Structure 1
Amino acid sequence: MNRDQLADFLRSRRARVTPADVGLPAGERRRTPGLRRQEIAQLAGMSIDYYIRLEQARGPHPSRQVLNALARALMLTQDERAYLFDLAGQPLEAPSIRDDVPGSVLHLMAFLEEVPAYVLNARYDILAWNPMANAIMADLENQPVENRNVIRWVFMSPDIAEYLDDEEKGRFARASVADLRAAAGRYPEDRRLRALVAEMLALSPAFAELWDRHEVEIRREQRKRINHPLVGVIDAICQVMPVPDRDDLRLVLYTTEPGSPSHQALRELRQLTLSS
């Protein structure tokens, strides 16, 4: 339970709700926006003392019943309600990381003939890819399943220097570890994710150093320079797109500026894949 963040969240949401929103008179002596603590406590059916302790980060672990009552009183959205439960240490349901990819995503990747595209789960396992992704990421098709993991590739692959220089590797490694730590917070019960972290801590001092920083940041768009052994340097925009209704999956696309040398390099790489 994160008492400080829970307290901050309750105060911010209380300030957002107006008396008119819940059918209360506005009155003449309101010095702050939103509802008073007493009003939220009454709407939620709890004592004012209990609610004050929650807002002051002194409260006990609220029950699911209390959290549901607060969500109604504060008029939280579905996403905000889930966040409230997370802060209180009571997720709405135990999230899990699955290994299946929706057919619609597979069809989309198949249509992206000139764009490397692949699907990652929260453990950084590469679950599916198109031919261009296979060409740009060291022949995924012939890799053992355990090697189709971006974290292992970044920190353990002996040939990564052929694809990323030291500066690029450092930047990508830091972003990936910060994102993996965010996933570990979302999926604390996933055994394979915990096993991956334990493995990397034991085998990679570089991973351990980054993990100990406790940096947390979900990966989104990122620029990447790839030194491909067949077509040379590719400056790509790595776009990380969440798969709808699947928080554990992301579609990763490598795009380049139209007409640029990197764009031409990708086209050349596609021709090589077609002729091979």
Structure 2
Amino acid sequence: MDDLADFLRTRRSRVLPASVGIPTDARRRVSGLRREEVAHLSGVSVDYYVRLEQGRARQPSVQVLDALARALGLDDVEREHLHRLGRRPAHTPRRASGTRLRPELLRVLELVPDAPAILIDHRLTILAANRLADLLYGRRAEGLNIARHVFLSEEGQSLFADWEGCTLDIVGHLRLSAGRHPDDPELASLIGELAMHSERFRCLWARADVRTRTHGRKAYNHPSVGHLELHQENFALPDAMGTELIVQSAATGTAAHDNLRLLASLGATGDPAPARLCHEPRSATGPAD
């Protein structure tokens, strides 16, 4: 499948003709814009646009991509994704499968004792976690792939209070990651596994939506302490491509803050092991769960 062609087709189908000044009548049988209408709005030839959607035209110019983004009404995230797909070289270097974390990063996790904190890669695999994150997930979180956990496990589906919204975020993130890392075999394997075993994932993946998240609400139904509504902050690490530090907190005096303290106290006797460094590369068959 050609990712650029797929993305253009799905974006075209979502543009209402009336929103770009094109009148419609009862005889119109297509949803969204026709190919020739996109070509006209973007100022490219119909033949060239058709070849783009058929995957027969490679590496369109920046000017063409900008024109297509305007014609299709793309937001900033979608525009960046379009440029990445359109300007992708024919062959890209293969990424190493392992991710090495500096010991200083692990110390940062331990400096956040009152909030769940994790380090996560572009495949949504948790590379390291502090004690409260382990308690939140009810297991050692390191090595857990959140996409697989949410889509393929009953435990994951029951843990996340807004499961449907969570699946939208996950698929949008993986779409962006696939555009950024087209030659990552572990990512491709994960996407294939999710598509094979989850109808929800297949339906969302076919929409070709892309999403990025820097902060927001994250709600859980924890089996031990009940409802937890936390605020999440995502910090992209400048020296580790695709790796993020995620911290989830609750304001003092709120029910969520009290429940986090209760969760920490319930786990005091078990005392899960602190965050550990992922020394060895992951297997090429996919991220561990």
TM-score scaled by length of structure 2: 0.62
| CA–CA separation in structure 2 for the residues paired with 1:154 and 1:245 | 28
Tell me which residue corresponds to 1:180.
174
CA contact (8 A) 1:201 1:208 kept: yes
Report 1:208-219 matches (<5 A): 208-219=202-213
Shift of 1:2: 6.6
Larger radius of gyration: 1
Q: Does 1:109 align with 2:109?
A: yes
| CA–CA separation in structure 1 for the residues paired with 2:249 and 2:83 | 37
| CA–CA separation in structure 2 for the residues paired with 1:246 and 1:99 | 8
Tell me which residue corresponds to 2:140.
140
Alpha-carbon displacement from aligned partner over 1:20-72 (angstroms, at most 9, x marks no partner)? xxxxxxxxxxxxxxxxxxxxxxxxxxxxxxxxxxx9687x867xxx99xxxxx
Tell me which residue corresponds to 1:225.
219
| CA–CA separation in structure 1 for the residues paired with 2:109 and 2:225 | 22
| Match of residue 246, structure 1, among 222, 229, 240 | 240
CA contact (8 A) 2:218 2:229 kept: yes
Aligned-pair identity (%): 24
CA contact (8 A) 1:117 1:251 kept: yes
Query: Which of the pair has the greater relative contact order for Cα pairs under 8 Å at 6+ separation?
Result: 2
Shift of 1:92: 10
Q: Give the helix-richer structure, 1 or 2.
A: 1
Alpha-carbon displacement from aligned partner over 1:147-196 (angstroms, at most 9, x marks no partner)? x100110011122344223xx00001111111111000100100010011
Q: Does 1:88 align with 2:58?
A: no
Tell me which residue corresponds to 2:159.
163
| CA–CA separation in structure 2 for the residues paired with 1:212 and 1:85 | 19
Shift of 1:247: 2.2
CA contact (8 A) 1:114 1:132 kept: yes
| CA–CA separation in structure 1 for the residues paired with 2:91 and 2:108 | 31
CA contact (8 A) 1:201 1:207 kept: yes
Alpha-carbon displacement from aligned partner over 1:129-162 (angstroms, at most 9, x marks no partner)? 0000000012126x8x5xx100110011122344
Stretches of structure 2 lacking an aligned partner (at least 5 in a row): 6-42, 49-56, 63-81, 271-289
| Match of residue 234, structure 1, among 216, 228, 242 | 228
Q: 1:257 to 1:204 in 2, by over 3 A?
A: same
Shift of 1:95: 6.4
Report 1:39-50 matches (<5 A): none
| CA–CA separation in structure 1 for the residues paired with 2:100 and 2:225 | 32
| CA–CA separation in structure 2 for the residues paired with 1:2 and 1:195 | 20
How many residue pairs get aligned? The number is 207
| CA–CA separation in structure 2 for the residues paired with 1:180 and 1:94 | 19
Stretches of structure 1 lacking an aligned partner (at least 5 in a row): 4-54, 68-82
The AA in structure 2 aligned to 1:263 is H
